[in-house]
Amino acid sequence: MSKSQPNGEMVVLVHGFAAHKLLMHAIERRLRRKGYLVHNFGYFSFQSITTLVPMVSQTIKQLACQPNVRRLQFIGHSMGCILGRLALLETKPTNFGRMVMMTPPSQGSPIANYLAPNFGWCIPPLRQLTTGSDSLVNQIPRPDYSFGIIRANGDLVVPAPYEQLDGAVDYLEVPDYLEVPGMHSSVLFNRALVDRIDQFIQVGKFSGEEIVKVM
């Protein structure tokens, strides 16, 4: 089958906090070219995570049962990874495959620690994404499905130690697109990234090597 033809693989993309689904458009377009069915989920990210999860769960449930969907995959960026983990706790389809987490705040974010005291009262995710052991993100059970984690080199929003999650089958570090440390969303603009995501979806490994940056 040509890679440009639908292959029965549905991918759900979910962006992160203070972002928009347009940031996932480049990945969406490249996945479609490889034959994937793609749903780019958009949402207002300043709402409580617990309010958003049912919407993600319902989307997953509806997409997974479509007759042209053989298997469903999940790709999240930042807070989108947390939404995916919680949604899959509520409803994991029998045809669920793998999850790719891009720069996930698996153990919270130090930036959330800094902002939550002043803004957490009106922006709930800031409280829910702190690094404290009692925060929402640190209460989520370990996934019971295959997942891999993609890191952004020099990420200051979610440093590497906070991205780690027990059970990950593979990690991949992506050089910064602009060669400026701290670009949390830089992974989304690496043109070589989708080849590695495709490989992980198909075989459960990225490649074991660092991505070569393509400008």
* Range(s) of the domain holding residue 199: 9-203
> Is residue 84 in a domain?
yes
Average pLDDT of 1-19? 81
Average pLDDT of 150-172? 91
> Is residue 135 in a domain?
yes
Please give the structure tokens belonging to residue 57.
């769960």
Q: How far apart are CA 163 and CA 103, in angstroms?
A: 6
Average pLDDT of 33-41? 96
Please give the structure tokens belonging to residue 84.
């995916």
pLDDT tens column, 71-113 = 999 999 999 999 999 999 999 999 999 999 999 999 999 999 9
pLDDT tens column, 102-158 = 999 999 999 999 999 999 999 999 999 999 999 999 999 999 999 999 988 888 899
What pLDDT sits at residue 146? 97
Mean pLDDT of the chain: 90
Q: Tokens 């130690």 identify what position?
A: 161
**CATH number, domain containing residue 117:** 3.40.50.1820
Domain count within the chain: 1
> Is residue 3 in a domain?
no
Please give the structure tokens belonging to residue 72.
């469903």
- The answer, yes or no, to whether residue 34 has pLDDT greater than 60, is yes
Q: How confident is the model at residue 1 (pLDDT cuts 50, 70, 90)?
A: very low
What pLDDT sits at residue 3? 55
* Neighbouring C-beta atoms of residue 104, cutoff 10 Å: 30
> Is residue 15 in a domain?
yes
> Is residue 1 in a domain?
no
Q: How far apart are CA 100 and CA 103, in angstroms?
A: 10
What pLDDT sits at residue 75? 98
Strand order in the sheet with 96-102: 37-41, 9-14, 71-77, 96-102, 146-152, 170-174
> Is residue 199 in a domain?
yes
> Is residue 123 in a domain?
yes
What pLDDT sits at residue 6? 64
> Is residue 149 in a domain?
yes
The pTM of this model reads 0.91
Going through the chain in order, the beta strands assigned E by DSSP cover 9-14, 37-41, 71-77, 96-102, 146-152, 170-174
Least Cα distance to 59 among 16, 13, 102 occurs for 13
